[in-house]
Structure 1
Amino acid sequence: MPVRLRGAFREGATLSTACTYVGPRSRYANPFTAGARSPLGPPMDAAESVDLFTATLRGPVGRHYAARFARTLRGLDLMCACPLDAPCHADVLLRRANEPGDGTAPRTTDLLEGPR
């Protein structure tokens, strides 16, 4: 089963073909970062930024990207700059990419609002 690894962007160029960097400055980066102001005002913590990323992937446009990410990332280890003991959007991508099916069929949870 693929896992999340910790590493920086500069290490992404040296990864094996079985691992993809998904952290900041990658096409898979979470646009919602811990410490940034949330849509409701106060700065977000790591869990809130991951929850917002998850909710975005469930939206009408996000589902398209989630399915594409799932097909591309299936079976790969994912590397991000987040500490391994903190919430990270790479965990969301790992779940989506490695769940049964091809990632294109709508899931019941796609119809729900907010994070799981």
Structure 2
Amino acid sequence: MPVRLCGASRDAVALSTACAYVGPRSRYANPFTVGTRGPSLLGSPMAEAEVVDLFAATLRGPVGRCYADLFARALRGFDLMCTCPLDVPCHADVLLRLANESGDGNTICTRYLLEGPR
């Protein structure tokens, strides 16, 4: 089963046959960043888990589902590399589940259940 790796895009290039870079400045990058204000009413700075959950929730939305399907097909079977340390939540974990779990396409789950109504 593919795994998440920590490194920069140049590291992924060295492993190009088995690894895809999904970190900052890649087409698979998480558009939400740690420390930016969250979408809640209080707008407090988001932590790693919140940023990952928001990314997953976005992929569950009407537009995000199209991207989720494209990402799943493109990343299936690859190890995914991001700059996030391995001991913190990362959107690459969401992409790994999305690309490699069999199912009905509803395998994107979030910690805070932000995906809304189905």
After TM superposition, list the pairs within 5 Å mapping 1:27-66 onto structure 2. Answer: 27-40=27-40, 41-66=43-68
Alignment CA distance shift 1:100-1:14 (3 Å): same
What's the CA shift for 1:8? Answer: 1.5
Q: How far apart, CA to CA, are the structure 1 residues paired with 2:99 and 2:23?
A: 16
CA contact under 8 A between 2:97 and 2:107: conserved in structure 1? Answer: no
Q: Structure 2 vs 1, CA of residues 52 and 108 (structure 1 numbering), >3 Å: closer, same or farther?
A: closer
Normalising by structure 2, we get a TM-score of 0.84
Relative distance call for 1:108 and 1:50 in structure 2 (3 A) is closer
Question: Which runs of 5 or more structure 1 residues have no equivalent in the other structure?
Answer: none
CA RMSD of aligned residues (A): 1.9
Determine the structure 1 residue equivalent to 2:10.
10
Q: Percent identity?
A: 70
Distance in structure 1 (CA, Å) of the matches to 2:107 and 2:34: 28
Number of aligned positions between the proteins: 110
Specify which structure has the higher proportion of helix: 1
User: Cα distance 1:108–1:22, how it changes in 2: closer, same or farther (>3 A)?
Assistant: closer
1:19-98 pair list within 5 angstroms = 19-40=19-40, 41-98=43-100
Output the amino acid matched with 2:62. Answer: P
The alpha carbon displacement at 1:106 in A equals: 4.4
AA aligned to 1:19 is: C
Q: What code does the residue aligned with 1:13 have?
A: V
2:24 partner SS = coil
Q: In the superposition, relative to structure 1, how do residues 58 and 10 fare at CA in structure 2: closer, same or farther (>3 Å)?
A: same
Contact 2:56–2:108 under 8 Å retained in 1: no
Partner of 1:107: 106
Deviations 1:8-58 (A, max 9, x none): 233333232110000001000000111111122111000000000000000
Taking structure 1 as the reference length, the TM-score comes to 0.86
Residues 43-92 of structure 1: CA distance to partner in whole angstroms, max 9, x if unpaired? Answer: 10000000000000000000000011000000000000001010000000
Contact 1:9 1:25 in 2 (8 A): no
